[in-house]
A and B are shown apart, each in its own frame.
Chain A
Amino acid sequence: MTDSTAVPDKGTDDQGILTGVEQLSPEKIERIINEVLSSETGAKLKVYVDTCVSCGLCSEGCHFYLSRDKDPKFSPAAKVKQTMWEIMRKKGKVSPEFIKKAAVVAYTQCNLCKRCAMYCPFGLDIAYVLSVMRRICHRLGVVPLYIQDTAHSHSVTGNQMWVKDDEWVDTLMWQEEEARDEVPNLRIPLDVEGADTFYSVIGPEPKFRAQLIYQAAMIMTAAGEDWTMPSTPGWDNSDMCMFTGDYEMMERLKKMHFEAATRLKAKRIVMGECGHAFRSVYDMGNRALGWKMPPIPIVHAIEYYHELFSQDKIKIKKKFDRPVTLHDPCNIVRGRGLHEMARSVVNSTCKTFIEMTPNREHNYCCGAGGGVINCGPPFKNARVESTKIKAEQLFAAKAKGAEVVIAPCHNCHGGLEDVIHHYGVDMELKFLGDIIYEIMEIPE
């Protein structure tokens, strides 16, 4: 590797980063960096950083690079050069100004989507390298304001939306009451010990998308599921602490989540349509606590829906008749390989399915993942500008006749809503659960 050239920077007005940087000294930066490097990283990081030969093959794998007119600054290798490569080369002797720029790169110019790793001839996991940069920024207290606030919410409430204990239960009861207009004996069973399935959701569901809980209750009831939800913290499977680099809090959250399920003696956790939460419960959080795999099986909504149709657990009135396309969320496709199962569910429920290209594990990220959308308004314009390639992908699917985009992930919904609006794609966005609820036979 050679020294990277300075890249012009427009600066940031994010107060989490700016105020955080004001409180730094070179000594503190050096101490924290070396603590992280010596006690939390090892051969993996060194091999990743040292092995990169700057061949640039990762560039074509990155939607930032492709969307930004192939500006080399947005190449994954360049992002490493602007962050960890420099830090390791200088053994932590970097300035507060450097940390400011590195924080912007690590938190807002990489979705940790791991697409580039598939294009690297050495398979280097650049998302991991940038996660180490985020970890350093967290330890330094230099984190974008909005995602830091979300991490604070997790630490106080156990959920990412500052939802209070009573508000959670009240919302479930409200959705149960609404659903009883449709199915009089429907129940959202709270704290039922010994239920087979523990159903968990992410914070935005009770806060903004309570209809998804309604729909899930309807689907579970139709399927005759023996299920429950907890009245206690631990109901939220999401995890922005994983993305800020606050791994101690990630561990606390995952402990809370798994213990809420195991306390009720559930045999499995079925989770709603969320990608990053899956990464947290299936890979990062469980392993940080010492479990090789989740202590009880985690079943993503796609797997659960596949089970419903492959085992004939629910009946549909007729297939969804508008042409659909499918967005493959990074965390459950590159992270778990659920892409064929998702297609099976789409084909079971929709009359016309039009693939967007590229697809499956090669699909482009929505631009929201990795906590980037959670960094909030200060970075929204830059984020949406970095999804031009996604918009082109949607336009191409639309040209083939697709009217509806199915995105089985909350953050993907947020990201794709912005893409569709900003680029004038004019397509409707749905969860798989929206479609299943729309076409299913409602139980009596």
Chain B
Amino acid sequence: MIDTDNWDWEPGRKTVADLSLWQESYSYTEEFFASPDGETVAAIVRNEDEEFTVATQAPGKEIQPWENAYEKVWNLKYGPEGRLSALISDMAEWTVSTDDVPWENTFDFVWNMALTPAGDHIAVSAQKELQYSAVIDDRPWETQFSRLTGMALSQDGKHTAAVVETVQVLEAEIFKFRKGCYSVAIDGTPWKQTFMNVWEPCFSKDASHVAASVRTNYQDYTIAVDGKAWDRNYSSVWAPLFSPTDDTLIAPVKENGRWFLATDGGKVWDASFCQLWHPAYSQDGNRIAAIVAPDFGLWTVAVDGIAWEATFNEFLTDLVLSPDGQRAGCVFKHDGMWGVAVDGKPWQGRFDMAWKPVFSRDGNHVAAKVETNGSYTVVVDGIPLDRSFSRLEAPIFSPDGSRLLLRGVEKDVFYREIVDLG
């Protein structure tokens, strides 16, 4: 959820940083990241004291390293509001630092940093003395577990959920394992129910419910909501997904060798597929699309149960719906080359790689980053822009969809460029 209204949308190119100066200043520099508005770049660097830190640069300004430096820094990430966070370690103690302000709590390890869509809350998974928990904004759970994975952060940033081991199972205890030793903990409190396996917990929009895929025995998979399993079992399931508007929950399920889209009450679509995964809702919750294989080895997108006619013979990924839900786009791979398809029609160009399409706010335009021979550009509505970069971040449309923000490197200079799509 990036608020782009107040950004500088004046067409033209601005130099953000001369990266050759960074190479002169630091003996070690990792890859550069641009802030969402493109006005700053940042990278993990090693300073003269052989310590790691983060440095940033804005147009016309000097390279600005953080005041604090550490033994290790990783997972550097800009939030949507432009704050810069990383996982840092000193004396074998780990924590989170945002804009050079570290959390007070430290841990033996932290990972899986997650940010809310607004960027105002940060969560990590943490381990201290071999006990595991989740932490939001420097506040760890009060309860720890012997194992934790798959942490999810609610949209409002107030809650975390994760798969936890509630009955400690040691290696080779296979019969104990079968009884069910795993559950989901929300803010440190586990469901009363345990399962043989639990995966992919997710929150409903208002965070009042948590769902996960579960296996109750070797044969039976289903979905559990707030600890209660659906009445019906399946031979397999993939990750569930809540509607963005209410508590409706859907999940791909497998029955008699075919995949369906199901809800607790039964099938959402009549159609079945050789494969079905990664369902996506439109923002109003009225449309659902999913990646499907109508036949073995053929991939496409189904919208409201109707598969596109065009199919792709290697791979399909990065399904996205336009904000109004009327359009769908994806990345595909066909005959060894990558491409972008929108509304069932593959764009003409074929590339060495293609990135998730981005829709303008009104849904009228689509842009996607693509790569050919190590050079990157953006294709807008099927037509490549007449410029290329050696590194490029995802394009962002102006609020009215008439301009595009590019953030990329050309000849060792990081540029911010606004392109008028006229």
Which 8 pairs from chain A and chain B are nearest by CB?
Answer: A292-B297, A295-B315, A290-B275, A166-B109, A290-B293, A248-B236, A166-B127, A148-B174
Can you offer 30 A-B residue contacts whose CB atoms are under 8 A? A39-B257, A40-B257, A138-B218, A139-B218, A139-B219, A149-B172, A149-B177, A152-B177, A153-B171, A156-B165, A156-B182, A164-B132, A164-B147, A165-B149, A166-B108, A166-B109, A166-B111, A166-B125, A169-B109, A169-B111, A170-B109, A184-B28, A189-B30, A194-B353, A194-B371, A248-B235, A248-B236, A255-B277, A289-B275, A290-B275
Q: How large is the interface on B (under 10, 10 to 19, 20 to 34, 35 or more residues)?
A: 35 or more
Is A146 at the interface (CB under 8 A from chain B)? yes
Provide the residues of chain B in CB contact with A443, threshold 8 Å: none
Contact B215 A155 (CB under 8 A): yes
- A22 to B: closest C-beta gap in Å: 10
Is A204 at the interface (CB under 8 A from chain B)? no
| Bound-state Cα–Cα, A63 to B238, Å | 41
Binary per-residue interface labels of chain B (164-181) against chain A in the complex, 1 for a CB within 8 Å, 0 otherwise: 010000011111011000
Is B350 at the interface (CB under 8 A from chain A)? no
| Bound-state Cα–Cα, A176 to B371, Å | 29
Is A246 at the interface (CB under 8 A from chain B)? yes
Q: List residues 50-76 of chain B with CB under 8 A from any CB of chain A.
A: 72, 74-75
| Bound-state Cα–Cα, A184 to B277, Å | 43
Is B31 at the interface (CB under 8 A from chain A)? yes
Provide the residues of chain B in CB contact with A54, threshold 8 Å: none
Provide the residues of chain B in CB contact with A290, threshold 8 Å: 274-275, 293, 296-297, 299
Contact A192 B218 (CB under 8 A): no
17 new A-B contacts at CB < 8 Å, known A265-B353, A267-B353: A19-B175, A39-B256, A139-B219, A141-B178, A155-B197, A155-B215, A156-B165, A164-B149, A165-B111, A173-B72, A184-B27, A184-B28, A231-B74, A231-B112, A255-B277, A291-B314, A293-B314
For B130, the closest partner residue in chain A by CB is A164
For A162, the closest partner residue in chain B by CB is B171
Provide the residues of chain A in CB contact with B196, threshold 8 Å: 155
- B382 to A: closest C-beta gap in Å: 21
- A9 to B: closest C-beta gap in Å: 23
Provide the residues of chain B in CB contact with A155, threshold 8 Å: 196-197, 215
Contact A16 B174 (CB under 8 A): yes
Is B407 at the interface (CB under 8 A from chain A)? no
| Bound-state Cα–Cα, A170 to B87, Å | 13
Contact B149 A233 (CB under 8 A): yes
Contact A190 B215 (CB under 8 A): no
| Bound-state Cα–Cα, A191 to B196, Å | 30
Provide the residues of chain A in CB contact with B235, threshold 8 Å: 248
Provide the residues of chain A in CB contact with B108, threshold 8 Å: 166
Provide the residues of chain B in CB contact with A145, threshold 8 Å: 172, 174
Q: List residues 168-202 of chain B with CB under 8 A from any CB of chain A.
A: 171-175, 177-178, 182, 196-197, 199
Is A187 at the interface (CB under 8 A from chain B)? yes
Contact A246 B218 (CB under 8 A): yes
For A187, the closest partner residue in chain B by CB is B30
For A140, the closest partner residue in chain B by CB is B218
Q: Which of A16, A40, A149, A184 has the most chain B CB atoms closer than 10 A to its own CB?
A: A149
Q: List residues 205-226 of chain B with CB under 8 A from any CB of chain A.
A: 215, 218-219, 221
Is B313 at the interface (CB under 8 A from chain A)? yes
Provide the residues of chain A in CB contact with B317, threshold 8 Å: 262
Is A185 at the interface (CB under 8 A from chain B)? yes
Is A352 at the interface (CB under 8 A from chain B)? no
Provide the residues of chain B in CB contact with A152, threshold 8 Å: 174, 177
Q: List residues 241-266 of chain A with CB under 8 A from any CB of chain B.
A: 246, 248, 251-252, 255, 262, 265
| Bound-state Cα–Cα, A289 to B254, Å | 12
Contact B111 A248 (CB under 8 A): no
- A187 to B: closest C-beta gap in Å: 7
| Bound-state Cα–Cα, A405 to B333, Å | 40
Provide the residues of chain B in CB contact with A40, threshold 8 Å: 257
For B295, the closest partner residue in chain A by CB is A290
Provide the residues of chain B in CB contact with A232, threshold 8 Å: 112
Provide the residues of chain A in CB contact with B100, threshold 8 Å: none
Residue in B127, B275, B293, B355 whose beta carbon sits within 8 Å of that of A265 in the complex: B355
Provide the residues of chain A in CB contact with B293, threshold 8 Å: 290
Is B264 at the interface (CB under 8 A from chain A)? no
Is A215 at the interface (CB under 8 A from chain B)? no
- A54 to B: closest C-beta gap in Å: 33
Provide the residues of chain B in CB contact with A149, threshold 8 Å: 171-174, 177
Contact B297 A251 (CB under 8 A): no
For B376, the closest partner residue in chain A by CB is A194
**Known contacts A192-B31, A248-B235, A289-B275, A141 near B111 by CB under 8 Å:** no
Contact A292 B313 (CB under 8 A): yes
- B225 to A: closest C-beta gap in Å: 20
| Bound-state Cα–Cα, A289 to B72, Å | 39
Residue in A138, A139, A146, A165 whose beta carbon sits within 8 Å of that of B172 in the complex: A146
| Bound-state Cα–Cα, A251 to B75, Å | 29
| Bound-state Cα–Cα, A40 to B254, Å | 14
Q: Which of B132, B219, B235 has the most chain A CB atoms closer than 10 A to its own CB?
A: B219
For A289, the closest partner residue in chain B by CB is B275
| Bound-state Cα–Cα, A148 to B174, Å | 7
Contact B296 A191 (CB under 8 A): no
Q: List residues 28-48 of chain B with CB under 8 A from any CB of chain A.
A: 28, 30-31
For B391, the closest partner residue in chain A by CB is A194
For B182, the closest partner residue in chain A by CB is A156
Provide the residues of chain B in CB contact with A289, threshold 8 Å: 275
**Known contacts A152-B174, A267-B353, A292-B296, A191 near B75 by CB under 8 Å:** yes
Binary per-residue interface labels of chain A (130-160) against chain B in the complex, 1 for a CB within 8 Å, 0 otherwise: 0000000011010001101100110111000
Binary per-residue interface labels of chain A (173-205) against chain B in the complex, 1 for a CB within 8 Å, 0 otherwise: 100000000001101011110100000000000
- B199 to A: closest C-beta gap in Å: 8
Provide the residues of chain B in CB contact with A382, threshold 8 Å: none
Provide the residues of chain A in CB contact with B381, threshold 8 Å: none
Is B352 at the interface (CB under 8 A from chain A)? yes
- B207 to A: closest C-beta gap in Å: 23
Q: List residues 109-129 of chain A with CB under 8 A from any CB of chain B.
A: none
| Bound-state Cα–Cα, A166 to B313, Å | 37
